A and B are shown apart, each in its own frame.
Chain A
Amino acid sequence: MSALVVGWGNPIAGDDAVGLKAADAVAERVVEERLGGIDVIVTSEGGLRLAERTLGYERVLVLDARIGDAADETLSIERIAPRDGETAASATRHDGSLADALGVLRALRSTQLPAEVVLLSVPIEAPTAWSEEMSKTADAAAARLADAALRELEGIALG
């Protein structure tokens, strides 16, 4: 079993970096506990590029932010299924959502698609300015996100 943990977000857009910070925490634990079979990356890339990064892994965890009520401590866990079609219905035509991008790769008969892509996300307020600082609320959310990711990874690590 090989797993990829992706911290997804923008480090210069305030709380949008919550997934990156959570991934950093996961990476520390992976090193400390010498967990095998797990790669951790952080990225600001769009959905299509990210989907290509997942090829060859059996399981992928994506740690991200979603726009919502930051005071809501609900952590969302959803399985991302490759989605066929509708990729033309987009405002930005040189990118797509992760589900669309995985659908593209499946349509292209990629033999390396991960068996499972899990998206873990926490709510943030929509950033309105550039910043490398996260709010305290987002800091706490990043810790919850990292813990949830590590729970998801239980049973995957080769030790």
Chain B
Amino acid sequence: MSETRQVSIDPITRLEGHGKIELFLDDAGNLADAFFQIPELRGFEEFCRGRQGEDMPQITERICGVCPEAHHFASTKALDVCYDAPPPPRARLLRELLYNAYTFSDHLLHFYYLGGPDFLVGPYAPPLERNILGVVNKVGLELGAEVIKHRAYGQKIIEIVGGRPIHPVTGIPGGQSKGITPEERDEIEAMTASAVEFAKVTLEIFHNVLLTDESFTKFVSDKSQHMPTYYMGLVDETGAINFYDGEVRIVGPDGSQFAQVGADGILNLIDERTEPWTYVKIPYLKDIGWKGFEAGVDSGVYRVGPLARLNVCTQIGTPLAQAEYERFCEYFGGGPVHATFAFHWARLIEMLSAAERTATIIADPQIMEGPLRTPLGEPGSGVGVIEAARGVLIHDYALDDRGRIDDVNLIVATTHNVAAISLSIKDMAKAVIKDGNVEEGILNLVEMSFRNYDPCLACATHALPGEMPLVIDVHAADGSLRERIER
């Protein structure tokens, strides 16, 4: 006879990737364990095998309906390596410009539309108020127009550089298929200047509204929501954050460097574990080993994403975001920062940095001159690593002698974070489920715990019904359904 009870948070989702949260209670009605599942379509490797390598940037960007740019360029970068054809400076700048516009736009979306309402409006506010409408009511109607305008700016830059409004097509092995015109450059320049100002305004809102509000700061300071793990992210040769390129740096819970390797070395550092309850392979640091769903220096669990990137870098690399990063470090008394709710602040620092970076890149005269493509060598194998908005994305390809895909492996950001997300859910559920009593607010509080990571579940299709409600099933010890919480 089982001595645990099961609480299922089971989204009845659109087909496009859905998650399920399993909470297991012990006999006393307290949390025993928690797992975060991501069912997915299977057989992607087989689907790709035999295709021409250069088709992969267009194929893989269809995996995700939210961040096609990340897959497009992770794929392109892998092909650069496969063909020993590093992109010339002009092409690299174009890619980085598009990519920083994507990062800016994605982080903006999360703060205003998705994660921010929890705190700007309040985590215990009624769901009908805890949304963008509540945000507008709180910070002013004029902000709404600015949000729409700057989302559109991000999309416009992606369209200009990426060659079409939806799903970029300009990334090719060894470079870019097209440049930009002087008129387009001028248009982008104006948009990036505005983006920097808007990112500054957003951080002011964060400071004035969130950092002065106990409903946010209590989650940041609550030690039960701090998780000392390893962290992984890309850094450039100066140790600064770089979303597009760099070496993979991993630091331990104490901040010391665990490893720093090029893209081709990353797969030697991690291993993947299978669990019977999920199709997703759970990565962990091979040399530390898998010790179960545990944080700490002896556990191979690591995190990626905005907080991880701030924890692995030694500087941000752009002046305004650097100043904000220093405030961040001062607030927490130095790094690494283990407060999971600090992801939100880290995300805004990155949003500012991405905006600054676009402004710097578009002002670089090299973006208008020079070759766009390096001649290709013979096909081989290659790994492309990039920072998706939500963390490290790895594309690993092997091409045959005719340039066809012989083998492929993708490790997406949310996969890196699966173990950590499970732990965060567990931490939160432990705090809110006591002696069999499931608090009314558990649904949103548990959501908030994984919303920090901005997990990407939207990696398959877009079939109806297009809804992603959450349901919590609370099962008694005998397995019977005791109550269901849904909305």
- Mark A residues whose CB is within 8 Å of B: 8-13, 16, 41-49, 52-53, 55, 64-67, 84-99, 103-105, 107-110, 119, 121, 124, 126-131
Assess whether B59 is in contact with A93, with CB atoms less than 8 Å apart: no
Q: What 1/0 flags go to B1-26 for Cβ under 8 Å of A?
A: 00000000001011111110000000
Residues of A within 8 A of B443 (CB): 89
Q: Given A44-B65, A121-B464, A129-B42: A87 and B132 within 8 A (CB)?
A: yes
Q: Given A65-B463, A126-B463: A49 and B131 within 8 A (CB)?
A: no
Residues of B within 8 A of A108 (CB): 132, 136, 144-145, 147-148
The 8 Å CB contact of B454, one of A46, A94, A98, A105, is A94
Assess whether B148 is in contact with A130, with CB atoms less than 8 Å apart: no
Flag whether B185 is at the interface (Cβ < 8 A).
no
Flag whether B32 is at the interface (Cβ < 8 A).
no
How many residue pairs at the A-B interface have CB separations less than 8 Å? 205
Q: How far is the CA of A13 from the CA of B11 in the complex (A)?
A: 21
Q: How far is the CA of A65 from the CA of B466 in the complex (A)?
A: 10
Q: Given A67-B15, A91-B18, A92-B468: A130 and B447 within 8 A (CB)?
A: no
A-B CB contact pairs (8 Å), 19 listed:
A10-B62, A13-B41, A43-B167, A52-B151, A67-B463, A85-B130, A86-B127, A86-B131, A87-B131, A88-B130, A89-B469, A90-B470, A91-B457, A92-B17, A94-B454, A96-B468, A97-B466, A110-B144, A130-B46
Q: How far is the CA of A119 from the CA of B133 in the complex (A)?
A: 24
The 8 Å CB contact of A45, one of B68, B117, B465, is B68
Q: How far is the CA of A42 from the CA of B132 in the complex (A)?
A: 27
Residues of A within 8 A of B117 (CB): 87-88
Main secondary structure of the interface of B (DSSP, over half): loop
Q: How far is the CA of A13 from the CA of B44 in the complex (A)?
A: 10
Q: How far is the CA of A52 from the CA of B145 in the complex (A)?
A: 13
Smallest distance from the beta carbon of A144 to chain B beta carbons, Å? 16
Could you tell me which residues of chain B, from 28 to 77, have a CB within 8 Å of some CB in chain A? 41-44, 46-47, 59, 62-63, 65-66, 68
Smallest distance from the beta carbon of A156 to chain B beta carbons, Å? 21
Residue of B nearest to A67 (CB): B463
Residues of A within 8 A of B460 (CB): 10, 13, 127
Q: Given A85-B128, A95-B65: A9 and B17 within 8 A (CB)?
A: no
Smallest distance from the beta carbon of B126 to chain A beta carbons, Å? 8
The 8 Å CB contact of A129, one of B16, B41, B165, is B41
Smallest distance from the beta carbon of A6 to chain B beta carbons, Å? 10
The 8 Å CB contact of B44, one of A88, A103, A130, is A130
Flag whether B219 is at the interface (Cβ < 8 A).
no
Assess whether A90 is in contact with B469, with CB atoms less than 8 Å apart: yes
Q: How far is the CA of A129 from the CA of B458 in the complex (A)?
A: 15
Q: How far is the CA of A131 from the CA of B460 in the complex (A)?
A: 11
Assess whether B148 is in contact with A85, with CB atoms less than 8 Å apart: no
Q: What 1/0 flags go to B93-113 for Cβ under 8 Å of A?
A: 000000000000010011001
Q: Given A9-B463, A48-B109: A95 and B444 within 8 A (CB)?
A: no
Smallest distance from the beta carbon of A121 to chain B beta carbons, Å? 5
Q: A46-B458, A87-B117, A94-B109 are in contact. List 5 more A-B contacts (CB 8 A).
A: A52-B155, A85-B127, A93-B451, A104-B113, A119-B464
